[in-house]
Amino acid sequence: SPLPPPPPPMTVDNALRLDGDITGDGGVLKTVLTPGSGASHPEPGDEVIVHYTGTLPAVPPAEPTVFDSSRGRDAPFRFKLGEGAVIKGWDIATKTMLKGEKAKVVLAPSYAYGDAGSPPKIPPGATLEFEMELIGWVSHKDLFGDEGVIKTVIAEGEGWERPLDLAEVQVNVEAYAVVARAGGNLKKGEVLFSGKQTFSLGRKECPEAWEKVLRDMKKGAKVKLVCDGKYAKPGPGTIYVPEDMFAAKLAYELELVGWLKVEDVTKDGGVVKKTLTEGEGWERPNDGARVTISAKLRVGDAAPFLVHENLSFKVNTGIVLDGLDRASQSMTKN
């Protein structure tokens, strides 16, 4: 009977081989010199740490020329994988490697510096050879690099804007126990909270992990955070977490509904402006310009104690309260 077909080569991302002609076009040739450990590979967005020596191949008996080496500097090289921080062949080869793996990687010009090269060290159209060692990586999902908070993106969101410092964000939150220790008062999967929360960024009104992810989220984005140890303890914004919860892990699902922009106009906290409705254009009143505003003055959340409709004055002439003057100068026409 005919022999069974050979098994398909091991791949990463269902596209790249882990050894040999890993791109399938001869552009990136990889030979594993020392196998790595584990079964996971770095992913795009991870910060990878590598040692390398780069050489220009030569025709024997000439010796290859070393053009760069992290080992010569005794300092590993760090970069964000898949973000164009290095030559194309490096991004491709690195994501096929295991932790601790050493490999010889040969890059065709189209996966290195192309026809132009990188003078004076890399001539035009050069094929490059690297000996690479993947020391390790910090997962972009591991928020603090200690496996205390692992992030999973559920939805990317829309647009390009992200909330800045002091922004008042509105977030749909669901908090639940992932694992509960024996004898605890919390069961696995038990929902602790489900609803909308509003708080300001940069004022310690929510957990540190929330702050970190929300600053990088777009409107409508949704993430899941699995928190362990100190990151699962109750604190600002999570008063619904029991002090004696005995939970090994908590999960938070956060959906960024939207936010109001907040600006420290005077840069010292003296005048802080929250934008309720965006104005038109970009122009703002200069010194001496006459403005007309509507203003309501209140203390905290109390009812206004003074209301001005169509209050007209010249900017920066001392006619009105300095704070009102400063805020008016930072506004656009509504």
Catalytic annotation, pick one of 46, 92, 111, 130: 130
11 CB-near residues (< 8 Å, 6+ apart)? 17, 18
pLDDT tens for the chain, 334 residues: list them: 345 444 444 455 545 678 899 999 999 999 999 999 988 899 888 899 999 999 999 877 778 899 999 999 999 999 999 989 999 999 999 999 999 999 999 999 999 999 999 999 999 999 999 999 999 998 888 888 888 999 988 998 999 999 999 999 999 999 988 876 656 566 777 888 899 999 999 999 999 999 999 998 999 999 999 998 788 877 888 888 776 655 568 899 999 999 999 888 888 888 888 888 888 888 888 888 898 888 888 887 788 888 888 888 888 888 888 888 888 888 888 7
Pairing, β 168-180 against β 306-314: unpaired
Pairing, β 168-180 against β 102-107: unpaired
Alpha-carbon gap, residue 44 to 48, rounded angstroms: 10
152 φψ region: left (φ > 0), alpha (ψ -120 to 50), beta (else): beta
268 CB-near residues (< 8 Å, 6+ apart)? none
DSSP states along 158-195: BSS----TT-EEEEEEEEEEEEE-TT-S--TT-EEEEE
Catalytic annotation, pick one of 22, 46, 49, 87: 87
The confidence score (pLDDT) of residue 6 equals: 44
285 CB-near residues (< 8 Å, 6+ apart)? 291, 315, 328, 329, 331
Pick from 206, 198, 204, 177: nearest CA to 256: 198
Sort 100 into a burial class: Cβ within 10 Å, 0-12 / 13-18 / 19+. Answer: middle
Catalytic site includes residue 67:
yes
Both tokens assigned to 240: 């619904």
SS3 211: helix
Sheet holding 247-260, edge to edge: 149-155, 222-228, 247-260, 168-180, 191-200
Structural Rg of the chain based on CA atoms: 28
Question: Quick count: other Cβ atoms within 10 Å of Cβ 213?
Answer: 20
CA dihedral angle for residue 181, residue 184, residue 187, residue 193, rounded to 10 degrees: -110
Catalytic site includes residue 305:
no
Question: Quick count: other Cβ atoms within 10 Å of Cβ 244?
Answer: 8
Catalytic annotation, pick one of 46, 49, 92, 113: 113
Catalytic annotation, pick one of 52, 176, 199, 252: 52
Sign of CA dihedral 176, 250, 138, 22: negative
Catalytic annotation, pick one of 68, 142, 228, 264: 68
Pick from 263, 298, 94: nearest CA to 168: 263
Sort 6 into a burial class: Cβ within 10 Å, 0-12 / 13-18 / 19+. Answer: exposed
pTM for this predicted structure? 0.62
Catalytic site includes residue 293:
no
The confidence score (pLDDT) of residue 13 equals: 54
User: Within its chain, how far is the Cα of 26 from the centroid?
Assistant: 33
Please say whether the beta carbons of 316 and 287 come within 8 A.
yes
Both tokens assigned to 305: 């104690």
Catalytic annotation, pick one of 67, 77, 79, 193: 67
